[in-house]
DNA sequence: GTCCAGGCCAGAC
DNA sequence: GTCTGGCCTGGA
């Protein structure tokens, strides 16, 4: 990968086929990116504000080399070779179509705690409402980091802060609805864990899944999302209504089967990169409304 | 006004 | 174990 420092100090990643901001931030894995008028995207993570812009086949990051190497390289999963994953997943015409449609998707390595809370909020909720709630939680409970293009950015609060939050406040000010107590309860439970999130990275997948599912508001689908988007395990295959519809329509001849069976089917079919396949299929299916009744 | 979303949970079989 | 209904909120 060729990384150049531009005249303004920002970084330029040359010739990135597997890095498309729209695809990365709109395939359902992250809720903390703001789309700007020039089609670039901005977030706040690691107490830093970052803007990402695509120019032709190049990507421009508003950061310096030090932060890039220490933080963003891992966040954007840049050590992973997506060309290799793609060729591994090119097993049929469906995947061929899904991969070419979402060729610029990458799996972000996000903060575990923020990811846990984000996907607890995602249950039976719309993307825009999820984004809005995350943003409000950061605003009311996080710390101010800075202002970028007129918008204020805040760090996502720590587990200690939300463990002490009043559920009614969360509901009233952050519009989380019935997920209010789940957020506080899950935070309290996490505080009781002996292991840090770093330690948990090495846990066997099934153990990690059981541990996550013991949290309030975390079931089969949400735990798979957390494992895929924050614990770097690309074999997790989260099944939501979209993936269920896509799989039933494109692989099961329209037959309706349970969520669990779709999950087993997906893991079996796509193996160690099932989670990446899920993202290609999700983006492909959702953008093209595959299986949605008219 | 009515409907229900990128699931979870409790309660009933 | 598998299935069902209810859940905040707000946009269609």
Q: Is A294's CB less than 7 Å from nucleic acid strand C?
A: no
Q: In Å, what is the CA distance from A186 to each residue of A68, A126, A170, A214, A278?
A: 32, 21, 14, 9, 26
In this prediction the pTM is 0.97
Q: What pLDDT does residue A1 have?
A: 85
Closest residue, by C-alpha, to the C1' of B6: A240
Nucleotide B1 C1' to residue A125 CA (A): 22
Distance from CA(A248) to C1'(B12), angstroms, rounded:
29
Please state whether strand C lies within 7 Å of residue A144 at its CB atom: no
Q: Is the CB of A175 under 7 A from strand C?
A: yes
Q: Which nucleotides of C are covered by protein (CB under 7 A)?
A: 1-3, 7-11
Report if CB A167 to strand C is under 7 Å. no
pLDDT on residue A294: 53
A141 contacts A113 by C-beta, under 8 angstroms? no
Does the CB of A124 fall within 7 Å of any strand C atom? Answer: yes
Q: Which residues put CB within 7 Å of chain B, the nucleic strand? A: A 26-29, 122-127, 178, 182, 213, 215-223, 225, 240-242, 282, 286
Query: Nearest CA to A182 among A141, A226, A121, A127?
Result: A121
Q: What φ, ψ does residue A13 adopt, rounded to 5°?
A: -95, 120
- Residues in chain A, total: 294
Parallel, antiparallel or unpaired: strands A11-13 and A3-5? antiparallel
Would the Cβ of A128 be found within 7 angstroms of any atom in strand C?
yes
pLDDT along chain A (294 residues), means of 10: 92 96 93 95 97 97 97 97 97 96 96 98 95 97 97 97 97 97 97 96 95 97 97 96 93 91 95 96 91 72
pLDDT of residue A27: 86
Shortest CA to C1' contact from A171: nucleotide = C8
In whole angstroms, give the CA distance from residue A96 to residue A12. 29
Q: What is the pLDDT of residue A291?
A: 84
């Amino acid at each position: 990968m060729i990384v150049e420092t531009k005249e303004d100090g920002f970084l330029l990643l040359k010739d990135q086929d597997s890095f498309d901001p729209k695809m990365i931030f709109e395939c359902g894995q992250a809720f903390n990116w703001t789309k700007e008028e020039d089609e670039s995207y901005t977030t706040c993570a690691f107490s830093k504000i970052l803007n990402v812009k695509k120019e032709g086949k190049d990507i421009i990051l508003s950061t310096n080399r030090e932060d890039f190497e220490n933080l963003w390289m891992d966040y954007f999963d840049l050590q992973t070779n997506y060309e290799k994953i793609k060729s591994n997943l090119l097993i049929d015409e469906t995947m061929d179509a899904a991969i070419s449609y979402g060729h610029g998707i990458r799996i972000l390595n996000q903060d575990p705690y923020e990811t846990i809370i984000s996907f607890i909020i995602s249950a039976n909720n719309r993307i825009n409402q999820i984004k809005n709630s995350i943003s409000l939680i950061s605003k009311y409970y996080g710390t101010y980091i800075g202002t970028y293009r007129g918008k204020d950015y805040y760090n996502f609060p720590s587990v200690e802060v939300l463990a002490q939050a009043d559920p009614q406040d969360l509901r009233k000010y952050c519009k989380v609805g019935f997920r209010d107590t789940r957020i506080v309860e899950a935070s309290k439970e996490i505080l009781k864990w002996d292991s840090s999130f770093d330690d948990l990275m090495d846990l066997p997948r099934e153990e990690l899944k059981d541990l996550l599912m013991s949290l309030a508001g975390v079931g089969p689908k949400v735990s798979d999302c957390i494992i895929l988007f924050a614990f770097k395990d690309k074999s997790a295959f989260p099944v939501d209504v979209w993936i269920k519809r896509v799989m039933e329509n494109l692989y099961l001849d329209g037959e309706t089967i349970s969520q669990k069976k779709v999950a087993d089917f997906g893991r079996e079919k796509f193996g160690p990169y099932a989670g990446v396949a899920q993202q290609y299929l999700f983006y492909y299916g959702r953008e093209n409304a595959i299986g949605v009744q008219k």
